Chain A
Amino acid sequence: MKLDLITRIVLVCTIAVLALLIIFPLTNILITATHENGRAVFSSIFSSPVTRQIIKNTVLLGSTVGVLGTLIGFLLAYAQTRLEFRGKKILHIISLIPLISPPFAFATAVIVLFGRSGIITRDLLGLSPVLYGYPGLVIVLTTSFFPVAYMNLLGMMRSLDPSLDEAAASLGSSKSKVFVKITFPMLIPGIASSFLLLFVESIADLANPLVIGGDFTVLSSRAYIAINGEYDVAAGAAYSVVLLVPGLLVFLLQRYWAQRKNVVSVTGKPSGRVRNIESKGAKFFLLSIPFAMSSLIIMVYVTVLIGGFVKVLGVNNEFTLDHFSYIFSGIGNDAIIKTTLLALIATPIAGILGMILAWLIVRKIRRGRELMDFLGMLGIAVPGTVLGIGYAVTFNHTTKLGEFSLIPQLAGGGAIFGGALAIIMVYTIRSSPAGQRSGIAALQQIDPAIDEASASLGASGVVTFKKVTLPLIRGALLTGLMFAFARSMTTLSPIIFITTPDTPIMTSKILSEVDAGRFGNAFAFCTILIVLVSLAMSAINLLVRGRSIESLSNPLN
């Protein structure tokens, strides 16, 4: 299909935006990493067992969390779509909670509960396990990130055409066989992309390795130390380039392999109903892990909540509002308002950018669609630490082209808008991949003939997008937006490198409270953050409750 003029303009603008938001900072980080101290880091990969161990740690952590998180997310999604049980809605909500809180809230609560002097481990069980390091990181990261896999797989399972299952069942397949031969293979792309997301998320995470990592050093924490402890930007850039490699490698692997399996199953024709699993034993088996997981989540968040209202949780359980008044009286106020504002600005931009990318990739461009998809996903394929360092080295000064200043200073002290622009840009590029993925998934499920029908009725590409495509993927778009907002509010690793006194960000404030050992303040801060994010998510949820693709596939609606 020939691209009409407006589509071409959209394409060019999108590429320009991607160039500014991700390609330029990444290029700069590569250049910085080739400075002398950076080169020393690279050569230490071969000469120094310390550096090699850091890389091994990083890959081990990413794989473990990827596998465990995907498994848990899968079980939960399966339970939601194929099982009938009491508390289904509540389980769904609980499974999403970790999305809307800063990961180190989790780490801190886990230390208080299960640490060497934890309430449960020492006071109740008399144990003193070594939590700091690999085991603690796996527990915390898996619990923090499995909802990403859950959301991903849930959307996919809901849009699977039940008539395929019915067809297989009528051909004599048992339920378990239907699952193994039909359902599962169709979910492989979703499972693969979940693993990818979790892998990248966990190796990119900076907050938890700082809080609970102990001696288990990973690349992100090493890069952070290089920049914030050793003030060695070139070495930091070099570590982040090394961190970039496994992230991008897994990403490309998944692209190459999962891309070939694209299952179009919604054609706009009515389909059958999902047959639920009735067997009690199977139900019990399938539900045990989801319920164990949700108990853990509740426990942790109760800890966070209570921890904000008592003096020192587990030591002095006396009620107090000191933590909250500390936050509201001091610098906390400013951080709360500014963080929310910046996230609110970035979220719709990210959502729209992601959807436009999805639309261009699935429906418009043929040659170079892989590249486009890759560029769009870079924001998440690139670890937050890398992105933050990239922004710091790129936008901390004016970019000049000869005498002409091309881009003003966007980040750091003395930047325009007190560095707020750089933070919005980071939020946007970190969040748009979520919109892009959900948009692509939704678009691939829509019969291309629907777009063609619109074109043959005289609608240009953009009009078709507005009137047909967008309404059909609205559910996916808003889910993507919801995720994007929560993500912006709770992200730390890229922000920590570019936050300034003029634009304090909640997550970095929480980290400094945790660092100072003031867990009470951190818990109170987390509670406020969770409340803010939940409010925004409920608002978006109300919007989704219109006509989305899910409700359309149900003829009774």
Chain B
Amino acid sequence: MATNSLISIAEGDSKVRASDSSRLQLSNLSKEFGQDPDRTVAVDNINLTIEPGEFITLLGPSGCGKTTTLRMIAGFENPTFGSILLDNQDISKLTPDRRPMGMVFQSYALFPHMSVYENVAYGLKIKKLPAKQIEQEVGFVLATMSLEFLANRAPNQLSGGQQQRVALARAMVMRPKVLLFDEPLSNLDAKLRSQMRIEIRQLQQRLGITSIFVTHDQDEAMSISDRIVVMRNARIEQVGEPAEIYRHPKTVFVADFIGRSNFLTVEKIQSKTKSGKIAIKVLGKNMEVDAHEDAVTASNPVLLIRPESIRIKRSHSKNQEASGTQGRVLNVVFYGAHVEYEIETEKGNLVAVVSDPKHDEIVPVGQMAEFSFDENRAWLLPSGD
């Protein structure tokens, strides 16, 4: 125990780290609440492998089953079917206290009758570690989290960010095989939130602890994860790295949930060109675009264009009708670093974001604008749900 303590891991003992990181597998995991006829399926047959040391985020709207999934991993809910394997051992029958998991709660759940130090030492005391080692490990974690000066405070004397740190320290000091985060940042203000995000990510990478993070905030998911699991209606919608999820979403739902999206209906011309792309006609223009495999066979695919992929310039045409790549500016918002347009086109309204705008190039409201986008930045996906 003393040899591969948290301290030695943090100090970069790579051998310890490799053996200490764990693989977590969810197989056919399902959770139903209630009895017929009021039965609801909270989690529906989820299969997912989380690699050792990986930071994975469960992202989705409320009620999508992400928190239930996390609580099943922690042991607070019993799966209706399926199993949870930690390093190939089924842990789904174990009570929470026997699972090597650390959890950080949305409400922090600090013990209000204990000081910061006592909160962090709690789990180690339960483990009956020698007093000296407890002191050492707690001291180390508090130092890592810059909490030493708060050691004797009561939780209600701390700010939200400090409470969050204590909650993290308390989970971390147990050297869990898997760290679970249940929307831990949702009670913090925006600035603190992004700061804590970075802190959590750095600490996790340094310690190499397999981590699962639940959130409904896409920015959080994008900035913190190795991979994102987008969930919807109790199922997994898509799993992938942040860039892949953002650029190549599998469904309209994912595209819409992650970032902002413009969807254009298109006419398909050729399913597979020589370059492996799909030839389409959109806004009166022919182009070849990348596509999700399901879009190849779909009857009415839609084209995804992210707002930042759209370029805007003032239209000099006498024609005052929205047609083709010409549209009317409905709204302009100047943010300093970028300008955001809402443009009425023949295919519906488009949102465009132009970075670093020159002042005299901003197209005012009511004016006609010519818009364009690089076909390489567009992505074709099957429409509908």
Q: A residues bordering B, Cβ < 8 Å?
A: 1-4, 267-270, 447, 449-450, 452-461, 463, 467-468, 471-472, 547, 549, 552-553, 555
Contacts and interface: CB of A to CB of B under 8 A. Distances in A.
A279 B53 CA distance: 62
26 contacts: A1-B95, A267-B107, A268-B109, A268-B156, A447-B109, A449-B105, A452-B105, A452-B109, A453-B111, A456-B75, A456-B96, A456-B102, A456-B103, A457-B97, A457-B102, A457-B122, A458-B127, A459-B123, A461-B95, A461-B97, A463-B126, A471-B113, A549-B113, A552-B156, A553-B156, A555-B156
A77 to B, nearest CB: 24
B306 interface: no
B9 interface: no
Contacts of A269: 107-108, 156, 163
Contacts of B194: none
Given A4-B95, A552-B154, A457 B106 contact: no
A3 B126 CA distance: 19
A169 to B, nearest CB: 22
B110 interface: yes
Contacts of A463: 97, 126
Interface string B71-100: 000111110000000000000010111110
Given A2-B75, A449-B106, A552-B113, A455 B95 contact: yes
A429 B107 CA distance: 37
B98 to A, nearest CB: 8
Given A268-B109, A268-B155, A547-B113, A452 B76 contact: yes
Contact of B75 (A450, A455, A552): A455
B345 to A, nearest CB: 42
Nearest to B122: A457
Contacts of A459: 97, 122-123, 126
A483 to B, nearest CB: 23
A264 B156 CA distance: 17
Interface in B129-175: 154-157, 163, 167, 170-171, 174
A468 B123 CA distance: 12
A472 B103 contact: no
A104 B267 CA distance: 93
Contacts of B155: 268
Contacts of A455: 75-76, 95-97
B107 A456 contact: no
Contact of A458 (B105, B109, B174): B174
A472 B93 CA distance: 30
Query: Considering the complex of A and B, which 5 residue pairs feature the smallest CB-CB distances, nearest first?
Result: A457-B123, A449-B109, A455-B96, A453-B109, A456-B103
B112 interface: yes
Given A269-B107, A449-B106, A453-B105, A458 B97 contact: yes
A450 B127 CA distance: 18
Contacts of B229: none
A452 B97 CA distance: 9
A366 to B, nearest CB: 11
B103 A454 contact: no
A546 B75 CA distance: 34
Contact of A453 (B95, B99, B103): B103
B185 interface: no
B126 A1 contact: no
B101 interface: yes
A549 B180 CA distance: 28
Interface string B112-127: 1100000000110011
Given A2-B95, A458-B97, A549-B113, 16 more contacts: A1-B77, A1-B78, A3-B95, A449-B107, A450-B109, A452-B105, A453-B109, A453-B110, A456-B75, A456-B101, A457-B123, A460-B95, A472-B111, A552-B113, A555-B154, A555-B157
B107 A460 contact: no
B113 A1 contact: no
B227 to A, nearest CB: 23
A472 B112 contact: yes
A273 to B, nearest CB: 13
B109 A457 contact: no
A1 B126 CA distance: 20
Nearest to A270: B156
B96 A452 contact: yes
A553 B102 CA distance: 27
A172 to B, nearest CB: 25
Nearest to B123: A457
A2 B108 CA distance: 23
A457 B108 contact: no
Residue in B107, B154, B167, B174 with the greatest tally of chain A CB atoms within 10 Å? B107
B78 A268 contact: no
Contacts of A447: 107, 109
A318 B314 CA distance: 111
Contacts of A457: 97, 102, 122-123, 126, 170-171, 174
A458 B123 contact: yes
A459 B95 CA distance: 10
Contacts of B99: 456
B75 to A, nearest CB: 7
A456 B181 CA distance: 12
Contacts of B180: 456
Nearest to A3: B95
Residue in B112, B122, B126, B174 with the greatest tally of chain A CB atoms within 10 Å? B112
B76 A1 contact: yes
Contacts of A4: 95, 97
A549 B101 CA distance: 29
A197 B163 CA distance: 40
B192 to A, nearest CB: 15
A447 B109 CA distance: 7
A471 B109 CA distance: 15
B158 to A, nearest CB: 9
Contacts of B108: 268-269
A4 B94 CA distance: 9
A2 B97 CA distance: 11
A552 B170 CA distance: 20
A555 B101 CA distance: 32
Contacts of B170: 453, 457
A555 B171 CA distance: 25
A452 B103 contact: yes
Interface in B163-203: 163, 167, 170-171, 174, 180
Nearest to A557: B154
Contacts of B157: 270, 555
A547 B112 CA distance: 10
Given A1-B75, A463-B126, A456 B154 contact: no
Contacts of A458: 97-98, 123, 126-127, 174
A449 to B, nearest CB: 4
A94 to B, nearest CB: 31
Contacts of A460: 95, 97
Contacts of A461: 95, 97
A342 B163 CA distance: 47
Contacts of A471: 113
Residue in B96, B108, B167, B170 with the greatest tally of chain A CB atoms within 10 Å? B96
A324 B107 CA distance: 59
B210 to A, nearest CB: 15
Contact of A456 (B78, B93, B111, B171): B171
Contacts of A270: 156-157
A270 B107 CA distance: 12
Contacts of A452: 74, 76, 96, 103, 105, 109
Nearest to A446: B112
Interface string B328-372: 000000000000000000000000000000000000000000000
Contacts of B167: 453
Residue in B93, B99, B107, B113 with the greatest tally of chain A CB atoms within 10 Å? B113
Contacts of B156: 268-270, 552-553, 555
Nearest to B100: A458
Given A453-B170, A457-B170, A555-B157, A268 B122 contact: no
